[in-house]
Amino acid sequence: MKNIHTISAMLLGTTLIAACGGGSGSGGPGVTSRSGNSDADRVLAVEAGNAAEALEAGATLKASQRASSGWTRTFDAATARLTADSTASVTLNDEGGLDLTIGGQTIRFIASDLTEDGNGFELPDGTAGIWSWDGESIADALDPAAGRYSLVFDYYSDNEDGTGRNGFLVVGTETADADLRALPTATYQGYARIRVAPTTGFNDYAADVSEARGDVTMVANFGAGTVSGAVTNMAGRAPRLEDPTRTWTPFDGGLTMEQAAITGNGFTGAITADAGFAAAVGTIDAGSSYSGTFFGPGGEEVGGGINVTGTGAEDGQGYLGFGHWRAWQQ
């Protein structure tokens, strides 16, 4: 895909829009509402404190459909597709590591699986790994003193059936619905990251997967029960084998987080791109979605996942992307 790094950036914007997503059935044409955690799976910040405190106390933190994203690759067919069920959960185990549950299986990472840089865990046979996006290391991310209500993890798992999963999950201690509705209008600022690849001809992760990043600004009108925002300062970078320096390249174009409804303590919505973005990058398919959940006793943090498909402006090739975004109340 010629313009894959640009397309990545486009997808990034989608992720950010996820931050402003809409409510049940109101996210936009063709957008399917993504569900939040059930009462049984929720861990509330007013009861459990921050995310690391909850994990230390033995809680399992689950990333719902709203707070997760991912894709599944079929190695022999060299194809990729968005994962139908991207939910995942993490728990501290008694062997100095984390248990990751995805796709009905639990993968145990222990202290000896810690990566050399300290940012995550990887199994000795290379079939699975998990990394933190918080703090200076995974130990820092899991430190209760850091006070984070949400945590982001990035994982992969190769399966015996010739498929592999990659994904992001945003987990944490959530805001109670009633407490969220009582809040005043608030502005959130943060970031988004996304990974993108062609749907066919997907042979090698390092050769085919590019990335994008950008800034997100979101306004949540809790009284009206809506969110909206924009993605700016976008940049993309080519696959690792194409550009070993991993240089970020800014590009023109912008994305709008269309107004969408808050349902419970989260939302799902659609995204739109301006003409410059469409000309430089490509189209975003109807049905591509963003979603998010509020975290903290007073909605201090918000984050979630993005699942996108589209067609590149230069080569007309189909692509898909998954990503995560986060923002903090200002």
Average model confidence (pLDDT) across the chain: 87
Residue with more model confidence, 250 or 98: 98
**What would the two tokens of residue 323 be?**
């990503």
* Of 277, 258, 184, the residue nearest 224 (C-alpha): 184
User: Global pTM?
Assistant: 0.90
Cα 132 from Cα 181, distance rounded (Å): 31
* Of 83, 54, 87, 257, the residue nearest 170 (C-alpha): 87
The amino acid that residue 321 corresponds to is G
Task: Give yes or no for residue 1 having a pLDDT over 90.
Answer: no
Model confidence over 232-251: pLDDT tens digits?
A: 888 888 899 999 999 998 88
Task: Give yes or no for residue 3 having a pLDDT over 60.
Answer: no
Res 212: pLDDT: 78
Cα 60 from Cα 297, distance rounded (Å): 18
Model confidence over 108-129: pLDDT tens digits?
A: 999 999 999 999 999 999 999 9
Cα 330 from Cα 325, distance rounded (Å): 16
Region of 14 (left: φ > 0; alpha: ψ -120 to 50; beta: rest) is: alpha
Confidence of residue 223 (pLDDT cuts 50, 70, 90): very high
